[in-house]
């Protein structure tokens, strides 16, 4: 920070286990990636190369290296894992990940009906012996409502299988999973999940500002938040520190 204000919440330092900010890269150019690092690399912990973009992005290895040189974990979107799975090409997927020199993968089942949860957990167990695994829970279909007890059961089973973090689905739109179609937070669901699953083990996808504010007010400055737009990293950090109107009074000592 450029000035040490009082009553600023203490933020965890990189590399951190809580207070993570995961940014979604949906196809940034090399120049845009470099500009992102120059502007706010200190506030980014993870970058997800969204859905299948890594297959068609030019100079992908160079971009991954730019992020990694700034102490940022990079992984490929879970939809790409499912795309390889449905084609019976998981050995090729593993090779692709290794060729990019990534040490983290995401395993999801939000699209592919053929991937049963038992099989997903088996893949989590297998891949966790070679990689850090993040696994995503929740459907990408807005009409599919998963009850709280099932969210908890799925998350716990995946953590037990070897997931480092479970990702709570919201998509880049913030309109499915732990949110309703209009982006409203499913607060009862989230609060019930937190009675059983430690908050530091969950990465909440929360691309919209009001969603980020809600989580910060509930859990605090060091809540794990994901699917953040590259242009919103500094804005999110200001929310975390009470330097924006939405959280202005949350950290002031009365």
Q: Tell me how crowded residue 252 is: count the other CB atoms within 10 A of its CB.
A: 10
- Residues, the chain: 254
Amino acid 185: pLDDT: 84
> pTM of the full predicted structure?
0.93
What distances in angstroms separate CA 77 from CA 55, 61, 69, 114, one per listed residue? 11, 16, 20, 18
Strand partners, 137: 168
What distances in angstroms separate CA 175 from CA 164, 178, 183, one per listed residue? 25, 8, 5
d(CA 149, CA 146): 8
Amino acid 235: pLDDT: 98
Amino acid 173: pLDDT: 64
Are 168 and 205 contacting, i.e. CB atoms less than 8 angstroms apart? yes
Amino acid 254: pLDDT: 72
Amino acid 212: pLDDT: 96
Per-residue pLDDT of the chain (254 residues; tens, 9 = 90+): 789 899 999 998 888 989 999 999 999 999 999 999 999 999 999 999 999 999 999 999 999 999 999 999 999 999 999 999 999 999 999 999 999 999 999 999 988 889 999 999 999 999 999 999 999 998 766 667 788 899 999 999 999 999 999 999 876 666 567 888 887 888 999 999 999 999 999 999 999 999 999 999 999 999 999 999 999 999 999 999 999 999 999 999 87
d(CA 243, CA 85): 44
Amino acid 36: pLDDT: 98
Longest dimension (CA), the chain: 59
Amino acid 61: pLDDT: 97
Which three-class secondary structure string do you get for the chain? CCCCCCCCCCCCCCCCCCCCEEEEECCCCHHHHHHHHHHHHHHCCEEEECCCHHHHCCCHHHHHHHHHCCCCEEEECHHHHHHHHHCCCHHHHHHHHHHCCCCEEEECCCCCCCCCHHHHHHHHHHHCCCCEEEEEECCCCCCCCCCHHHHHHHHHHHHHHCCCEEEECCCCCCCCCCECCCCCECHHHHHHHCCCCCHHHEEEECCCHHHHHHHHHHHCCCCCEEEECHHHHHHHHHHHCCCCHHHCCCCCCC
Nearest of 87, 86, 127 to residue 107 by alpha carbon: 127
Nearest of 103, 111, 113 to residue 136 by alpha carbon: 111
Nearest of 210, 117, 212, 211 to residue 166 by alpha carbon: 117
């Amino acid at each position: 920070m450029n000035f040490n204000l009082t009553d600023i919440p203490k933020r965890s330092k990189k590399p951190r286990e809580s207070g993570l900010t995961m940014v979604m890269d949906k196809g940034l150019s090399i120049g845009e990636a470099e500009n992102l690092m120059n502007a706010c690399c200190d506030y980014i912990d993870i970058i997800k190369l969204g859905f299948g973009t890594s297959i068609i992005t030019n100079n992908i290895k160079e971009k991954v290296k730019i992020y990694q040189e700034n102490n940022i974990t990079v992984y490929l979107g879970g939809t790409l894992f499912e795309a390889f799975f449905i084609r019976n090409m998981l050995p090729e997927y593993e090779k692709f990940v290794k060729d990019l020199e990534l040490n983290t993968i995401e395993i999801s089942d939000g699209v592919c009906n053929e991937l049963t949860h038992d099989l997903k957990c088996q893949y989590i167990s297998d891949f966790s012996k070679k990689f850090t695994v993040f696994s995503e829970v929740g459907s990408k279909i807005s009409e599919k409502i998963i009850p709280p007890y099932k969210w908890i059961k799925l998350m716990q089973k995946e953590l037990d299988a070897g997931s480092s973090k479970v990702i709570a689905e919201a998509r880049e739109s913030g309109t499915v999973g732990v949110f309703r179609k209009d982006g409203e937070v499913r607060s009862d669901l989230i609060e019930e999940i937190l009675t059983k699953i430690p908050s530091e083990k969950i990465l909440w996808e929360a691309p919209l500002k009001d969603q980020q504010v809600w989580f910060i007010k509930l859990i605090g400055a060091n809540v794990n938040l994901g699917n953040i737009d590259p242009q919103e990293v500094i804005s999110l950090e200001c929310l975390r520190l009470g330097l924006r109107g939405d959280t202005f009074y949350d950290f002031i000592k009365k």
